[in-house]
Amino acid sequence: MNATVKERPRADHGTVSNLMPSVTLDAQALRKAVEAVAPAMDLRSANPLLAHIAFVVEAEGGVTVRATNEDSSLDVTCDVRSAEGAVPFAAAISGRTLTKLLASVGPSPITMSLTTNGVVLQCGDLSGRIPVLPIADFPAVIHSVCDRPFEMPAGDLVQLLETVQHAISTEETRYYLNGVHIHRRDGKLVAAATDGHRMAIASLATPVDGTHPDLDAGVILHRKAVKHLLRLLAVLPDTVAVVVRLSSDQPANGRRIGGRPRMAFSWSHGDMQVRVDCGLIDGTFPDYIKVIPQTFTRQCVVYRSFLRRAAHTLLSVLGEVRDRPDGKPWLKLLFVLDKTCLRLSGSSEEHGDLTTRVTVASQDAVETGFNARYVVECMDAFECDAVAVKFNDAREPFVLEAAEDGRVTQGRERVSLLQVLMPARV
């Protein structure tokens, strides 16, 4: 008896020929690149392309993935020169789909080919087709030309931004406070942030040489860009060189994203090249120097960890209430300094009253109040054992900086930090 066996039809994902634009690369390397740029997507935008990632196979032998929210963009280029048969092409692929797909595959090579029906992929036992949008409609990113870039170690840039980011304002009405003010003062790179109640100023010990008029005038880097930078820089060794470009002039061809001055950060590490291109806040940062008292009549020195633990204990037990005029939650702490003893007190209708004490070095006395969370975040930003608190009276700004004999954490000596806390009405 003869039996006829019919071949099972295969799904048609588009015809792939040897001449079809395609590339083969390591799936895990692509996953790292996509995860790096994905946070820059704007998933709430009415423009669907802002929820997509531009996937570009370069003729020079690399794959660039790019995401943008039309204000900032992230580019990561993976080196695939060792891959066979790479043919240049570009497509806009759903960021959500691509992220989930790459998170599910193993460390196998992945082949991606562009067809008329989308991108056809093959990775181990997994194969299929992903729909794409026209790459020509993807927001163009035109990098401004800067003829005066400068370099700095990744560790310095991280510390510079990390130590001031807690003071960035989230109040949209004062948009010019929604970022970090980066500028050069006395030849040194300085980062400053304030929300009107507190301020943090970090200075890099190594001077920035050369002519940088825009840096001397100062720029404001948006808090979202700061967040992207810190996330990407966190995985780098401190010694990796970061190239900083700042340009206020229009590019020779095309437009720039957002139509505003831009700041770009780029670096290479391993087989990946990263570029973060940021639109700057178009506004004037306040002259913060005027807020800082130049002379002080009183001060105390306190161990950073002791004060941080005391404030955090009261904050975690008593909680915060929304009785501020701006509606934001907070816990007001009463600070009573009596020479060598600092008492911190707080109260809550629900959780009662608590008081704790911290030993300090001082010959002065004062009674004032502070936001508990501000005190905790202020202490977290310092990289030293002891903090000097300088002041004149209970109503004027309090200035905090590393004590002269307070040991700084090894490897963190290159950035100095000064913070200002405005007292709360008791």
The correct CATH number of 22-137 out of 3.40.50.300, 3.30.420.40, 3.90.780.10, 3.10.150.10 is 3.10.150.10
Q: Classify domain 292-421 by CATH number.
A: 3.10.150.10
Measured distance CA(299)–CA(351) in Å, rounded: 32
Read off the pLDDT of residues 322-336 as tens digits, 9 standing for 90 and up.
777 766 888 999 999
Read off the pLDDT of residues 339-349 as tens digits, 9 standing for 90 and up.
999 999 999 98
Cα separations in angstroms, 247 against 142, 158, 187, 210 = 12, 22, 19, 15
Q: What is the average pLDDT score of the chain?
A: 87
Q: What is the DSSP letter of 50?
A: G
Read off the pLDDT of residues 117-167 as tens digits, 9 standing for 90 and up.
899 999 988 999 999 999 998 987 756 567 688 999 999 999 999 999 999
Class of domain 150-279: alpha beta
Conformational region of residue 152, where left means phi above 0, alpha means psi within -120 to 50, and beta covers everything else? beta
Read off the pLDDT of residues 57-86 as tens digits, 9 standing for 90 and up.
887 768 999 999 878 899 999 876 444 556
- How confident is the model at residue 412, as a pLDDT? 64
For residue 174, the Cα-to-chain-centroid distance in whole angstroms is 20
First to last CA, the chain: 100
Asked whether the predicted pLDDT for residue 361 surpasses 70, the reply is yes
Asked whether the predicted pLDDT for residue 3 surpasses 50, the reply is no
- Give the strand order in the sheet containing 341-348: 219-222, 179-185, 188-194, 198-207, 415-421, 398-402, 386-391, 298-303, 352-362, 341-348, 332-338, 365-371
Measured distance CA(182)–CA(221) in Å, rounded: 7
Q: Cα-flanking dihedrals φ and ψ of residue 122, to 5°?
A: -145, 120
Measured distance CA(247)–CA(245) in Å, rounded: 7
- How confident is the model at residue 248, as a pLDDT? 58
Could you give the percent of the chain with pLDDT greater than 90? 64
CA dihedral angle for residue 372, residue 377, residue 378, residue 381, rounded to 10 degrees: 170
For residue 324, the Cα-to-chain-centroid distance in whole angstroms is 28
22-137 and 150-279 have identical folds: yes
* Residue 144 vs residue 287, higher pLDDT: 287
CA dihedral angle for residue 155, residue 246, residue 30, residue 128, rounded to 10 degrees: 150
354 forms beta bridges with: 346
Measured distance CA(132)–CA(152) in Å, rounded: 39
- How confident is the model at residue 247, as a pLDDT? 76
> Do 282 and 258 contact (CB within 8 A), yes or no?
no
> Do 135 and 91 contact (CB within 8 A), yes or no?
yes
Confidence band for 279, pLDDT divided at 50, 70 and 90: confident
Mean per-residue pLDDT for 268-291?
A: 91
Domain coordinates in residue numbering, the chain: 22-137, 150-279, 292-421
Mean per-residue pLDDT for 33-39?
A: 93
For residue 290, the Cα-to-chain-centroid distance in whole angstroms is 28
* Residue 57 vs residue 358, higher pLDDT: 358
> Do 165 and 233 contact (CB within 8 A), yes or no?
no
Read off the pLDDT of residues 212-238 as tens digits, 9 standing for 90 and up.
888 888 999 999 999 999 999 999 999
DSSP per residue, 279-304 = EBP-S----GGGGS-S--SEEEEEEH
pTM: 0.86
- How confident is the model at residue 10, as a pLDDT? 40
Asked whether the predicted pLDDT for residue 416 surpasses 70, the reply is yes
